[in-house]
């Protein structure tokens, strides 16, 4: 045996693998850079004080609610991690017991996967119940315990079905292809995600809500006019009966292609929000559609899923391979931790797209005052934090902090005023583009309104409605969290 030749062969193989890894890494970074791009210009937002927008009782009420909510979140996360560790430690005896019920690797793997889902659901149930109590106490929910438990059961069923499909497919592929099962497995996972997003409005959403066309035809016509002005085609604007579950307001886009729809909570239409605010949040959702944020979200999912599945295959292969159903708890624990670790980057992407939707919505409506008012209304009705700590935004924030969204709207208004003033002095029509002020600029509401009104009388800038703003709280379930919609 020629030892030198063997070493040369191994060196060439290592070099080839390194080159492939570099090419793949470059492709990943290139795709991420393209997806990261938005139409938001470079902004220098003012540092705002929550006390300028919210009363002391409003701030105190929100702080009281959030302090308990964050403690419940941290407690639930710790409990779920502990349960996962326990299941991984006891995977072998558990698999042996389940082997008496079902025969075959795939069947045992599915039972183990279901056991993990049920265990996580069970350990999280007390925390969910405590959260429900707090929401009822703070008048964020009027849902009965029966309705609440029915929702929890439905969520468990949906999670169990999705995990069953993923586990069965992964274990079957691992049995056929060994350590290379991830090569077809990762694209299959992305394809499943596309199908889930496509079917969500037709299959999953109706399990939790009833939907009907927007009953106010005059308002519906204005939303359609707004969509046409934004160059967005949306055939379906629906209203969800969210009021039987929550008093908070929200809106979202779900589905892709033929199933795409914009959904407004009926709590948006209960008289607390002005028409301008409703149009503002509608413009925000239409911007998500126009910029194809759901499709881009699926592309990001692919960028995270492919290396994640490859790491999962590598990790389980070192312990005998995922063809062994006893490794299913370990695999699901890895997925849980992988999602937890990558969540800050995923949230950064989400916040970026939400900021883009905010920016385009204000441009489309020409009503930054309504955008500010909507944001204030969302904060006070949902008890969300107008200026959350950095770690909360980093780990949990899917949307920009409310004060940042208010600052963006006010910067837009100030920019519009500057454009109006300069065009009035020079006798030129409004450009329709916002110029952003620096941090030292101040927002003079009266001058902004006057300038914008003057510009609008010439019909060159915006079609204006009335009032607006927006933000909505996002709940994060670390156990099998799947984003299938884009919220306001």
Q: Give the residue-averaged pLDDT of 378-400.
A: 93
Share of the chain above pLDDT 90, in %: 71
**Integer Cα distance of 485 and 212 in angstroms:** 18
- Does the pLDDT value for residue 403 go beyond 50? yes
Whether residue 381 lies inside any domain: the answer is no
pLDDT digits (tens, 9 = 90+) for 407-463: 999 988 876 666 555 555 443 333 333 333 322 222 233 332 233 333 333 233 222
Whether residue 234 lies inside any domain: the answer is: no
Number of domains in the chain: 1
Residue 158 falls inside a structural domain:
yes
pLDDT for 132: 95
Indicate the pTM of the whole model.
Answer: 0.83
- Which is nearest to 239 in space by CA: 200, 267, 217, 207? 267
Supply the mean pLDDT for the chain.
84
CB-based contacts of 272, cutoff 8 Å, min separation 6: 249, 377, 381
The verdict on residue 448 lying in a domain is: no
For 10-67, how does the pLDDT look when each residue is reduced to its tens digit (9 = 90+)? 777 777 778 888 998 999 999 999 999 999 988 788 899 999 999 999 999 999 998 8
Averaged over 227-243, what is the pLDDT? Answer: 90
Is residue 371 within 8 A of residue 409, CB to CB? The reply is yes
How many other C-beta atoms can be found within 10 angstroms of the C-beta atom of residue 484? 20
Domain assignment of residue 476, yes or no: no
Q: Parallel, antiparallel, or unpaired: how do β-strands 251-254 and 485-487 relate? A: antiparallel
E-strand ranges in 217-297 read 237-240, 251-254, 261-265
Residue 389 has pLDDT above 60, yes or no: yes
Tokens of residue 192, six digits: 């499943």
* Sign of the Cα pseudo-torsion (171, 173, 178, 182, in order): negative
Q: Which of 44-48, 103-107, 299-303, 352-356 has the lowest mean pLDDT?
A: 44-48
Query: What's the confidence (pLDDT) of residue 13?
Result: 76
Q: Is 93 exposed, middle or buried (0-12, 13-18, 19+ CB in 10 A)?
A: exposed
Q: At what angle do helices 91-99 and 105-137 cross, to 10 degrees?
A: 110
> pLDDT higher for 454 or 402?
402
With 90 as the cut, is the pLDDT of residue 156 above it? Answer: yes
In a domain, 254, yes or no: no
What's the alpha-carbon Rg for the chain, to the nearest Å?
25
The answer to whether residue 404 is domain-embedded is: no
**Is 400 among the domain residues?**
no
For residue 8, pLDDT beyond 60: yes
What would the mean pLDDT of 242-254 be, rounded to a whole number?
93
Residue pLDDT, tens place only, 60-100:
999 999 888 889 999 999 999 999 999 999 999 999 999 88
Which is higher by pLDDT, 46 or 114?
Answer: 114
Mean pLDDT of 163-184: 96
Expressed as residue numbers, the domain containing 115 is: 50-208+292-352
């Amino acid at each position: 045996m020629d030892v030198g030749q063997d070493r040369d062969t191994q060196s060439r193989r290592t070099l080839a693998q390194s080159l492939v890894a570099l090419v793949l890494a470059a492709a990943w970074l290139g795709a991420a850079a393209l997806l990261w791009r938005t139409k938001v210009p470079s902004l220098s937002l003012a540092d705002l004080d929550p006390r300028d927008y919210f009363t002391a009782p409003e701030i105190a009420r929100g702080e009281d609610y959030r302090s308990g909510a964050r403690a419940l979140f941290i407690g639930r996360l710790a409990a779920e991690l502990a349960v996962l560790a326990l299941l991984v430690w006891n995977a072998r005896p558990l698999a042996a017991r389940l082997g008496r019920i079902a025969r075959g690797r795939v069947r045992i793997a599915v039972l183990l996967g279901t056991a993990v889902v049920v265990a996580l659901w069970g350990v999280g149930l007390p925390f969910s119940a405590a959260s429900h109590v707090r929401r009822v106490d703070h008048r964020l929910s009027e849902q009965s315990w029966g309705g609440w438990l029915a929702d929890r059961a439905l969520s468990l069923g949906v999670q169990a079905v999705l995990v069953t499909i993923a586990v069965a497919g992964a274990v079957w592929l691992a049995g056929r292809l060994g350590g290379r099962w991830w090569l077809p497995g990762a694209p299959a996972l992305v394809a499943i995600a596309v199908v889930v997003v496509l079917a969500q409005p037709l299959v999953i959403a109706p399990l939790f809500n009833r939907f009907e066309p927007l009953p106010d035809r005059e308002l519906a016509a204005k939303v359609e006019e707004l969509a046409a002005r934004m160059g967005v085609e949306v055939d379906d604007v629906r209203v969800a009966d969210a009021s039987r579950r929550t008093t908070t307001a929200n809106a979202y886009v779900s589905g892709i292609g033929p199933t795409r729809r914009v959904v407004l909570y009926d709590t948006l239409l209960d008289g607390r929000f002005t028409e301008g605010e409703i149009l503002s949040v509608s413009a925000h959702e239409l911007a998500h559609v126009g910029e194809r944020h759901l499709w881009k979200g699926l592309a990001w999912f692919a960028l995270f899923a492919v290396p994640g599945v490859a790491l999962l295959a590598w990790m389980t292969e070192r312990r005998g391979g995922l063809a062994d159903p006893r490794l299913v708890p370990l695999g699901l624990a890895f997925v849980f931790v992988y999602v937890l670790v990558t969540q800050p980057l995923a949230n950064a992407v989400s916040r970026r797209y939400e900021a883009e939707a905010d920016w385009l919505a204000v441009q489309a409506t020409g009503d930054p005052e309504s955008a500010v008012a909507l944001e204030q209304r969302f904060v006070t009705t949902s008890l969300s934090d107008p200026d959350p700590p950095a770690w909360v935004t980093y780990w949990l924030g899917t949307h920009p902090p409310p004060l940042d969204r208010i600052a963006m709207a006010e910067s837009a208004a100030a920019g519009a005023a500057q454009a109006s003033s300069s065009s009035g002095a020079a006798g030129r029509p409004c450009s329709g583009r916002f110029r952003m002020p620096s941090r030292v600029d101040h927002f003079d509401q009266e001058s902004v309104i006057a300038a914008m009104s003057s510009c609008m009388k010439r019909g060159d800038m915006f079609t204006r409605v009335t009032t607006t703003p927006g933000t909505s709280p996002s709940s994060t379930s670390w156990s099998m969290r799947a984003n299938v919609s884009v919220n306001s």
